[in-house]
Every structure is written in C-alpha cells, then in structure tokens.
C-alpha cells in the first residue's frame, strides 16, 4: 500500500487476520454491515500483476515489428533485440540459451546505382528506371515533390536499405539509401539486352 508523504498523523493499519479476530464476537446488524464493507472494499483483491514472461513477450513483439519497419533483419535483429531485452529486463537471453555467437551471414558487396552504371557502361540516370520497370523498387514523391524509391518484396531479394548516417530535417528520421547486390546487375543487364534486341528488330 502506498502512503502519501503528505500524511503527518499516525495511521493504524489492520491486517485481514487482525480484522477477523476483531469481529469474531460481533453479532449485531451494525457489525455485519461493517464486516461487509471491509470485505468489499478494504480487503478487495487487487488485479494480479502481469507475469514477467508475458511482459517480455509483448516487449519483444513490439520491438521486432519496429525493427522490421526500419529494415533491421536477420542476425542484426537478433542481436539488437537481445540488447533491448537486457536493458529493459536485465536478462541476456542469448547467454541463457548458451548461444555464444551467431553464424556469420554471407557478406556480399553492395553497390550504388552509379556502381551498377559503371559496371554496365551506361549512365547512372538509366539505372533507376530499369530497376523500377523490373519491379525491384517503386518510385515515389515526398511532400516536397522530391523523388525517392522504396524496395518491393522482390527488390529485397536483390537489395538492402542502409543508413547513411544522416537524418531528415523535418522529423529527424534516419535517411536510408538503397544499395544493390550483384544479382541486380544481371537483371539490369538482361533488361538492356532485351531492349537492344527489340530496337534491332524494329530497325
């Protein structure tokens, strides 16, 4: 029971056991009325606290969903979630489960649009329209009518969001950049070759 620090007078608290001893000899109607009020209000059962396991599961679920929104996935997500749980609940689940290290994921070089253009001998401005046509990304406009791209589900198999270290001036959210794996080069090349064949055929 929390007692306000503003209380200056002595307070007498009665336990449930003490109450039962006190009213043992009560027989009149007033005694029964007092007993009913005490049982209904003073000794009312408080709501049980949420079990720690349930709190941890809910905390993990919310954080996992947030990480997916920010593109934190795979081993990076596991480590970040474990760190968050340790800070919030003081429990290192990976240590508890005896996981001393996560299997290293395949580290593949990522490429910018300019890198792809250089590899294929084309201009950088040609790359994004092709990636969009191939269904790897969508072209969008923000509130300032500036062009930006979002990965599609197919695009996530060939590219990744990376944090640039900068933040948007409007809301402070991280500025993300799409970088591509080598597999995206093959798709762009295939598209260029198909266009070349069509152009040659029309000539």
141-185 per-position pLDDT tens digit: 988 898 999 999 999 999 998 877 676 666 666 678 899 999 999
Cα–Cα distance, 116 to 102 (Å, whole number): 31
- Comparing 93 with 118, the larger pLDDT belongs to 118
User: Would the pLDDT of 4 be above 90?
Assistant: no
49's tokens: 């606290």
pLDDT at 162: 81
User: Would the pLDDT of 136 be above 70?
Assistant: yes
Query: Which DSSP string corresponds to 141-154?
Result: E-TT--EEEEE-TT
Mean pLDDT for the chain?
A: 77
Cα–Cα distance, 71 to 172 (Å, whole number): 17
- Structure-token match 């991280």, residue found: 174
pLDDT at 82: 85
User: Would the pLDDT of 59 be above 50?
Assistant: yes
97 by DSSP, 3-state: which? coil
Tally of CB atoms within 10 A around 155: 22
149's tokens: 């791209």
Mean pLDDT of 56-74: 86
Are 178 and 149 within 8 A, CB to CB? Answer: yes
pLDDT tens-digit map of 12-53:
665 656 555 565 555 666 666 666 666 666 555 555 556 688
Tally of CB atoms within 10 A around 188: 24
pLDDT at 153: 93
Cα–Cα distance, 57 to 60 (Å, whole number): 5
Are 93 and 85 within 8 A, CB to CB? Answer: yes
- Comparing 99 with 25, the larger pLDDT belongs to 99
Cα–Cα distance, 143 to 152 (Å, whole number): 21
pLDDT at 44: 55
Residue 104: pLDDT band (50, 70, 90) is: very low
Cα–Cα distance, 161 to 178 (Å, whole number): 5
pLDDT at 198: 45
User: Would the pLDDT of 192 be above 50?
Assistant: yes
């Amino acid at each position: 029971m929390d007692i306000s620090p503003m209380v200056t007078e002595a307070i007498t608290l009665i336990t449930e056991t003490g109450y039962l001893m006190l009213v043992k000899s009560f027989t009149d109607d007033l005694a029964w009325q007092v007993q009913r009020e005490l049982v209904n209000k003073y000794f009312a059962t408080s709501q049980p606290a949420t079990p720690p396991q349930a709190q941890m599961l809910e905390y993990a679920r919310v954080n996992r969903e947030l990480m997916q929104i920010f593109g934190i996935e795979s081993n990076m997500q596991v480590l970040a979630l474990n760190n968050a749980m340790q800070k919030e609940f003081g429990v290192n689940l990976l240590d508890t489960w005896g996981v001393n290290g996560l299997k290293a994921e395949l580290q593949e070089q990522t490429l910018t649009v300019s890198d792809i253009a250089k590899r294929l001998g084309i201009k950088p401005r040609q790359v994004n329209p092709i990636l969009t046509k191939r269904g790897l990304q969508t072209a969008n406009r923000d509130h300032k009518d500036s062009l930006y791209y979002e990965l599609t589900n197919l695009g996530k198999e060939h590219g990744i969001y990376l944090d640039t270290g900068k933040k948007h001036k409007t809301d402070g959210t991280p500025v993300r950049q799409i970088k591509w794996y080598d597999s995206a080069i093959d798709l762009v090349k295939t598209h260029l070759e198909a266009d070349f064949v069509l152009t040659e055929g029309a000539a």
